[in-house]
Structure 1
Amino acid sequence: MRKTHPALHNYDKSTIQAKVVQETLILVRRQSGDQACICLYNFSDAMATYTVDEKYHTWQKNLDSCGQQWQNPEENSLLSGSTLPDEISIGNELTVHSWSMVMYSSKH
């Protein structure tokens, strides 16, 4: 994904922003031209919420560590896959699972 996504392929540190949303929820935003991505990292045993306030109108989910493809079938996991929507926009509230991350890309 790093090689094909423009925002991840750009190594200019001035295009990367990070902010603490909550004590254990970190938002990282990367940009390259008009392409951007946001990643939310929840470093907690509890779920965390984030209200989308990014400038682009619509965001498309690229990666969610709670997705079925990342689940270990040998474990008796309480997670049954991702509960986050595939598309989000300004004002949507996201609930990020404990010890997980999600990445969304701008959609024009």
Structure 2
Amino acid sequence: APHKPTADAPAKTVVSLATMLDLPGALPAIAAPSHIAPPPTMPAPGSGELPSIGSALHKSGECKPCAFLYTKGCENGAMCSFCHLCDPEERKRRRQVKVEAQKTKRRE
């Protein structure tokens, strides 16, 4: 027959575990390796370095320019998933490159 825990069984388990943790040598000492560098910190969204979340990929060229930033203004601000670092003409240039690539592919 399956064992039914009583209402005070979990409390005994917690006390027992707490007692075990207080015993010297109960747990092996864990030391953080000293040769691992801390993770790089990201600038805060909304700062000059990262005006929007989507700007994080700007340096790698994998960002997507915000279509509204230079027209009516971006309502999403720092939380925008599109890049606010690209210049006003970047979106147009990328679109032209994409259209030319599609035309070339059709000709093949």
Superposition TM-score tier, normalisation by shorter sequence: under 0.3
Higher relative contact order (CA 8 A, sep 6+): 1
Which protein has the bigger helix share?
2
Give TM-score, length-normalised by structure 1: 0.20
Which protein has the bigger strand share?
1
Give TM-score, length-normalised by structure 2: 0.20
Q: Which has the larger radius of gyration?
A: 2
